Amino acid sequence: MADQTAFSACNFVSSGDNLGSTSPVSWTVPADAADGAVYYFGCEVSSHCNMGQKLALTVATAAVDLPSVSLTTGNTCPGTQIPISSWEHCRASLAALSPVVSGDSFNDVEDDADWPQGCYYCDGVSGCTDGVCFNAHSVGSSNDDAQIVCADPGFFADLSSTLLFVGDSDIDYWSDSVTAFPPLLTPTPSDTFNVGYGGYTCADVLTEADDFIAKFTPKNVVLVCGENDLPSASAAKTFARYQNVVNKYLASGARVVSISTKPEPGTTELHDKYEQVRRRHAHTLFTTPDDPPSLPCGVTFIFS
């Protein structure tokens, strides 16, 4: 789109390049683009642009030294790093340890003096289930090769503009989620956290929503859920659960970017249900003024 004025008004006259009439489309930032240059994009189909399907992209080429997370055998963190202080932060730290662990490596919360304090990881350790636990014990202790998860002091320091990824394996296994999105949705990459969990249903995501809202106060949320609800729930029930999750985060003041469920090759028996859910999403998003959408403003939906 031509400029900020055209972008605000969804005016495509003299808008420049048409990137294509079908998804997906691609665009490359010009090699000579200056820091601070802004490029405007929108969907010209129907009322899509006015419904929020548009993007202002600001060019930035600044190196960012992100706070880090590490695994250390024992019960003491190296250097200036500190133990993880809550199970919510424990879950969020796991994306930074990928591919050693993933969100669905998280097992449970405990209070046990015999294991490392805070967030810790076991792999082949006697008496410990492989994966990650959060130990609420105030002291804890070393135990065989169990590894404590340690974070730089600034890892959870500034949560003023948090971008939070929540949902199932599509979120959990999104390995570059904490680095790919910050330029678009939050100004500080260290404010980006992934708490996805492989196998989660929308019902599971809803159960944890209040805890993550309280801990992270997210400004933006990227959500994928529903796929794992379908084997045991109807399309209507699955969509209702999805709406409950979206509405929970919207009520907290966050904006939600939601990605649809997608038919999987290994679940062909569920493809009719997938399509029913997708039709419900489409009806919600592309409706007439006399038939208000079921999801309020503040939701951007991406069909995958």
**CATH number of this structure's domain 1-62:** 2.60.40.420
What angle do the packed helices 202-216 and 235-251 form, to 10 degrees?
10
Distances from the Cα of 132 to the Cα of 43, 119, 225, 254, angstroms: 43, 7, 23, 29
Q: Of 9-13, 178-182, 252-256, 258-262, which gets the smallest average pLDDT?
A: 178-182
The answer to whether 71 and 105 have CB atoms below 8 angstroms apart is no
Q: Which residues contact 154 (CB under 8 A, 6 or more apart)?
A: 67, 190
Tokens of 75: 């019960």
- What is the per-residue pLDDT for 275? 86
- pLDDT of residue 50 exceeding 80, the answer is yes
Q: What is the pLDDT of residues 229-242, one digit of tens each?
A: 999 999 999 999 99
pLDDT digits (tens, 9 = 90+) for 56-92: 888 875 544 556 899 999 999 999 999 999 999 999 9
pLDDT for res 292: 45
| pLDDT: which is higher, 183 or 250 | 250
Indicate the domain borders of the chain. 1-62, 69-151, 163-302
pLDDT tens digits, 141-171: 999 999 999 999 888 865 666 889 999 999 9
Instruction: Give the closest residue to 210 by CA, choosing from 246, 249, 244.
Output: 249
Predicted confidence (pLDDT) at residue 260 exceeds the cutoff of 60: yes
Q: For 25, how many CA atoms within 13 A lie in the half-sphere containing its CB?
A: 10
Region 37-48 average pLDDT: 86
Q: Are 1-62 and 163-302 equal in CATH topology?
A: no
Q: What 8-state DSSP symbol labels residue 47? A: T
Residues 253-283 as b/e (b if ≥16 CB within 10 A, e otherwise) read: ebbbbbbbbebeeeeeebeebbeebbebbee
Residue 225 is predicted with a pLDDT of 94
- The whole-number pLDDT of residue 183 equals 44
Q: Is the pLDDT of residue 5 over 80?
A: yes
Rounded mean pLDDT of the chain? Answer: 85
> What is the pLDDT, as a whole number, of residue 52?
82
Read off the tokens for 151.
């974070």
CATH 3.40.640.10 is right for the domain spanning 163-302: no
